[in-house]
Chain A
Amino acid sequence: MAWQWFHRLGSPRWFYEKTTPWLPWLAVISAALIITGIVWGLAFAPADYKQGNSYRIIYIHVPAAFLALAGYYIMAISGAVGLIWKMKLPYMVMKSAAPIGAILTFISLVTGSIWGKPTWGTWWEWDARITSMLILFFLYLGMIALQQAFQHRDTADKASAVLALVGMVNIPIIYKSVDWWNTLHQPATIKFTSKSSIDPSMLYPLLVMVIGFYVFYALVLLLNTRIEVLRRENRTQWVNDLVANPK
C-alpha cells in the first residue's frame, strides 16, 4: 500500500488530475511569500553599512542561484528515476526542469553582474563561483540541445538522463568553490549549524524569498510538466476529452 502513490506516478493522467487543484494554492502561496519578501527586503530591511542600498538585489540573486543548483538536482534525479524505473513521467519532469533551470541560472548571473558593478567595480570577473555557475548554465543549455536532437522520444529521454547524471558531478564543485578558492565572491554566509554571518534583519526576508522561490519553482515546474503531459499523451482519449470540454 505504501508504494502505491509511487507506482501511480507512472500514470501521467493520474499526475495531471491530481495536481490540478494544487495549482491555485501554489500560486497564492508563492505570490504571498515573494511579495512579502520583496516588500520587506526592499523597504524594511536596513541598509548595509558598506554597500548602502545596492545590496538589496540579494533578494533576487540568492534565491535564483539556490534554485538553479537545486533545479539541476531535480532534473538529474528525475532522469535517474526514469532510467531506473522506466517510467514516462520522470522524463517529462526532467524535460520541463531544463529550461526553468537555465533561466534561473541566467537570472542569477545577470543579477550578480548588476550587483557587481557598484560593489566590485566590474560587470564580470572570472572567479570560482561565477565561472562554475556559468558552467552550470552551459550544462543546462547542453541538456536542452540534446533533447531537441533526437528523432525518437525515448532515445532523447534516456540520453538526456545520462547527460544530466554525468553533469551532476559539477554541482558540489560549484557549491564548495567559494570555500576552496578565496577569490572574489564571498563565502557562504547562511549556515545551518552555526550562527549565520548575515544580520537577522536581512536574513529573514532573504529566507522568505528563498522559500517563495522554491514554491514558485514548484508551480512553474508543475505547469510545464502538465503541458508536456498533454503534448505527449495527445492521442489518448482523456486528453481529447479535456481539450473538447475544458473544465
Chain B
Amino acid sequence: MDKPVTPARSSGIPLPSLSGGFLASLRRDLLIAARHKAELTNPLVFFLIAVTLIPLGVSPEKSTLVLLAPGIVWVMALLATLLSLDGLFRSDFEDGSLEQMLISPQSLYFTVMAKILVHWLVSGLPVTLMAPLLGLMLHLPTEGFIPLLCSLALGTASMSLIGAVGAALTVSLRKGGLLLSLIVMPLYIPVLIFGASAVQTAILGGAIGMQLAVLGAFMALAVVLAPIATLGALKISSDG
C-alpha cells in the first residue's frame, strides 16, 4: 500500500528516474572517454603547440609577450575546445547509438547535458588547468593566474555548451569540421572578449567582478538553452 508507484512500461519494467538516466548516460560517456585515454591529451598537446607558435612567429621578446599573453592563452584555449567539438556526437552518430538515444523514453535534455558535461571534463577542464603553465611560458604576470583560471573555467563550460549546438548541426556532414568552426566561432566571440578582458583588467590591477558576472551569465544562459537547441539539431541531423 505504501510502496511508491513508479511508472511502468507495458513490459512491467519501471522507467529509470531522471537522475538515473542522467547518471547512466554520464557513466557511459565517462567510460568511453576512459577507454580512449590517448584522446584526452590531444586538446592539451594542441594547446601547447599552438601557444608555442606565437613566440616563434611573432616575437620572443618579454615586453611583447607580456602584453599578448592573456589574449594568446584565451584564443588558443578557444581553438583547442573548438577542435575537440567535432568528436562530441560523431562516434555515436556513426554507430547508430545516437538514434537509439533519440528514440529512447529518457529525458533527452539530461542525456545531452551528460554528454556535454563529459566533453567539458575531458577537454575544457584540462585546458583550463594547463593554462597557467602556458601563461608562465608567455611571461603572464602573476596577478593574472587566478583570473585566468576562473575566466577559463566559466568560459570553456560556455564554449562546450554553445559548441554542442554546432556539433549537433554538423554531425551528419562528412567534412563538417571546418563548417563547425565557421558557425560556432561568431558565437564564441562575446565569451572571448569578456574572458580575455578579465585577465587583462586583473593584470592592470582592476576588479574583475563585472567580467566574471557576465561570463557566469553566459554560462547560465547556455546551460538552460543550449541543450534544447542541441536536441533539436540532433533530431534534424538524424532524420536528414
Contact = CB atoms under 8 A, between A and B. Distances in A.
B176 interface: yes
B186 A135 contact: yes
Interface in B194-240: 221, 229, 232-233, 236-237, 239-240
Nearest to B175: A149
A169 B222 CA distance: 11
Query: Which among A83, A135, A170, A173 has the highest number of chain B CB atoms within 10 Å?
Result: A135
Contact of A135 (B170, B189, B232): B189
Contact of A149 (B165, B176, B185, B239): B176
A150 B183 contact: no
A218 B156 CA distance: 41
A202 interface: no
Interface in B169-191: 169-170, 172-173, 176, 179, 182-183, 185-187, 189-190
A193 to B, nearest CB: 27
A159 B236 contact: yes
Contacts, number: 63
Contact of B169 (A141, A146, A173): A146
A48 B179 CA distance: 45
A173 B236 CA distance: 28
Contacts of B165: 162, 166
Contacts of A146: 169-170, 179, 183
Given A155-B236, A158-B240, A145 B189 contact: no
Contact of A142 (B186, B190, B229, B237): B186
B229 A167 contact: no
A58 interface: no
A136 to B, nearest CB: 8
A170 B237 CA distance: 24
Contacts of B240: 150, 152, 154-156, 158-159
A142 to B, nearest CB: 4
B87 to A, nearest CB: 18
A9 interface: no
Interface string A128-169: 000100010011011001100110101110110011011101
Contact of A162 (B172, B173, B232): B232
B229 A165 contact: yes
Interface of A: 83, 131, 135, 138-139, 141-142, 145-146, 149-150, 152, 154-156, 158-159, 162-163, 165-167, 169-170, 173
14 contacts: A135-B189, A138-B182, A139-B186, A142-B186, A145-B182, A145-B183, A150-B172, A156-B240, A162-B165, A162-B169, A165-B229, A166-B229, A167-B186, A170-B190
Given A139-B186, A141-B182, A167-B187, 5 more contacts: A142-B183, A149-B170, A155-B237, A162-B165, A162-B232
Sort A-B residue pairs by CB-CB distance and give the 10 closest, nearest first. A155-B240, A142-B183, A138-B186, A158-B236, A152-B240, A135-B186, A159-B169, A139-B186, A162-B233, A142-B182
